[in-house]
Amino acid sequence: MMKIKMRVLSWFLSLICAIRTEGLLVRGPAMPLLVQLGASVTLPCSVDTPIPLHELVVLWMRDSGSLVHLFLGRESRPESQSPAYSGRAEFFTEEISKGNFSLLLRNVTTEDKGMHKCVVQTEQESSEANVTIDTEWLAVTGADVPVFAYAGEDVILNCSVDTHVPLGELEVEWMKTNEEIQVLLFMEGQYRPESQPERFRGRAEFFSEEIPKGNFSMKLRDVKTEDRGEFMSIQTENQSMQRHTYKNRVFPIGI
């Protein structure tokens, strides 16, 4: 009976060892991270059970092999970073002992687009998680509520574009969506009033002095009953021979 108990105990201990040896699971995000150029982003990486710092090594690497950051010997090692990440990538140091090895990446650039690998090593095992960064050039914001006006009043439909794209490569148009009518157009660095239909000429306009600041709001003068409906601002830009389109919120005008 004693021999059987010893065998069971030995089997149980070996099972625990096997679980510990093969059980390191590093968690990353399920989806790519969409980040605006120039912004900061947190690259998630964690384990469920904290790892003793004396046996922990964490490497953040690019798919190209460049070292983004390193934690070794109980401390982060910024001196080991590739020059492109110096001063831009850092751990949340107080979180590492809790099993959180996420990385803060500042001032995201086009070169940051792609796969980043979080490799976690202990004395017995190693595991990793991948984090993919995708960059966006435009961030478009507008109003959250419908705009109401009396006939004959003037209204402003807000639209702001936060972008690193030169104005000459940016195209912005305002559409009356329920009628599929182009109301305003900015293209090739210029406002194009000749593209307006007759009913909006002299009534719909950009704030020209605000365009360099990314403000593409539209002022609609002398609102008429036929203006009732939905207006949408649409931004497009060409990058790497691909055309990207961003649609802003819909602006219903009620009269």
What pLDDT, in 10s, does the model give residues 51-86? 999 999 999 999 888 999 999 999 999 999 999 999
Q: How confident is the model at residue 38 (pLDDT cuts 50, 70, 90)?
A: confident
Task: Kindly report, residue by residue over 155-214, the tens digit of the pLDDT.
Answer: 888 888 776 667 887 888 888 887 888 899 998 888 888 889 999 999 999 998 998 888
Domains and CATH numbers, the chain: 26-136 (2.60.40.10), 138-254 (2.60.40.10)
- Cα torsion for 88, 72, 34, 157, to the nearest 10°? -40
Least confident of 91-100, 118-127, 161-170: 161-170
**Phi and psi dihedrals of 160, rounded to 5?**
-120, 140
Segment 123-150 mean pLDDT: 76
Q: Decide if pLDDT at 9 tops 60.
A: no
For the record, the structure tokens of 184 come out as: 């305003």
State yes or no: pLDDT of 237 exceeds 80.
Answer: no
pTM for this one? Answer: 0.54
**Residue 101 pLDDT:** 97
Local structure of 76: helix, strand or coil: strand
pLDDT band at residue 142 under the 50/70/90 scheme: low
Phi, psi of 16 (to 5 degrees): -60, -45
**End-to-end Cα spacing for the chain:** 90
The answer to whether residue 135 scores a pLDDT higher than 80 is no
Cα separations in angstroms, 54 against 9, 90, 96: 29, 20, 12
